[in-house]
């Protein structure tokens, strides 16, 4: 999985997610030492930052090339919480029909730790709107008990520091239109994510109708991490 780094990202049917680089930085609040990890994925490079407690930010980077001089690093260089987020994202992109069986990553962004309106909106979205589900801005406002706060909900989506994990791409206009994403620069990404999740639901439905096809909520994935191989059983983690 992490055995090579492509020169450029290609949005192809075959999903690819590779670890590119990592570094340590200080958080804006100065209270956490963050580790940054860059992944490549079907939607572009993803810059992920987190501390020992949880994930701080996710940034989908548009129009970026890969640096061939950056070598992959293994999971031992990351905190357990950051490694879990990397594993979750890999499962999301590669086996989305199974990602619901995994615990959601732990979040530790300062905004998410506050008692603000935006934090309330984002936590509600994080906990209540799972894979394949969508809500309108109005419905999300109603879910937090403030049906008139539609514009404020939109502002919270615009300032979401942890997209993908806090799924602002699942919030649509009342008309059913997908609406803008990343300030309008990532509208195609939003459509891709929603389509990706819809296919996962269809696959799960197909498996439910044909249980003989294989065990449910159970799969294995062989990952090559640097020079070490692991067999990942999403119910039991077993190093080979």
Known catalytic membership, residue 168: yes
How many whole angstroms separate alpha carbon 90 and alpha carbon 96?
A: 9
Q: At 27, give phi and psi (nearest 5°).
A: -75, 160
How many whole angstroms separate alpha carbon 13 and alpha carbon 89?
A: 17
- Cβ-proximal residues to 228 (8 Å cutoff; 6+ apart), any chain: 74
Pairing of strands 33-41, 44-50: antiparallel
Burial class (CB in 10 A: 0-12, 13-18, 19+), 69: exposed
Structure tokens at 225: 């991490």
Are the C-beta atoms of residues 44 and 9 closer than 8 Å to each other? yes
From the list 32, 40, 91, 168, the catalytic residue is: 168
* 37 beta partners: 22, 48
Active site residues: 168
């Amino acid at each position: 999985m992490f055995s090579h780094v492509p020169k450029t990202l290609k949005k192809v049917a075959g999903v690819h997610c590779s670890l590119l680089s990592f570094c340590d930085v200080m958080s804006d609040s100065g209270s956490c030492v963050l580790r940054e990890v860059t992944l490549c994925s079907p939607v572009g490079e993803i810059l992920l930052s987190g501390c020992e407690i949880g994930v701080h930010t996710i940034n989908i980077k548009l129009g970026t090339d890969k640096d061939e001089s950056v070598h992959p690093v293994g999971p031992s260089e990351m905190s357990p919480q950051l490694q879990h987020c990397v594993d979750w994202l890999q499962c999301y992109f590669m086996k989305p029909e199974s990602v619901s069986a995994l615990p959601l990553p732990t979040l530790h962004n300062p905004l998410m730790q506050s008692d603000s309106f935006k934090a309330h909106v984002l936590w509600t979205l994080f906990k209540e709107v799972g894979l394949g589900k969508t809500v309108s801005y109005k419905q999300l406002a109603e879910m937090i008990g403030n049906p008139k706060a539609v514009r404020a909900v939109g502002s919270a989506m615009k300032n979401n520091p942890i997209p993908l994990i806090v799924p602002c791409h699942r919030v649509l206009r009342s008309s059913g239109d997908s609406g803008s994403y990343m300030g309008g620069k990532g509208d195609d990404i939003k459509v891709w994510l929603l389509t990706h999740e819809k296919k996962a639901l269809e696959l799960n439905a197909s498996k439910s109708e044909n249980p003989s096809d294989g065990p449910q909520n159970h799969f294995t994935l062989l990952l090559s991490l640097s020079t070490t191989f692991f067999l990942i059983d999403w119910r039991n983690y077993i190093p080979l």
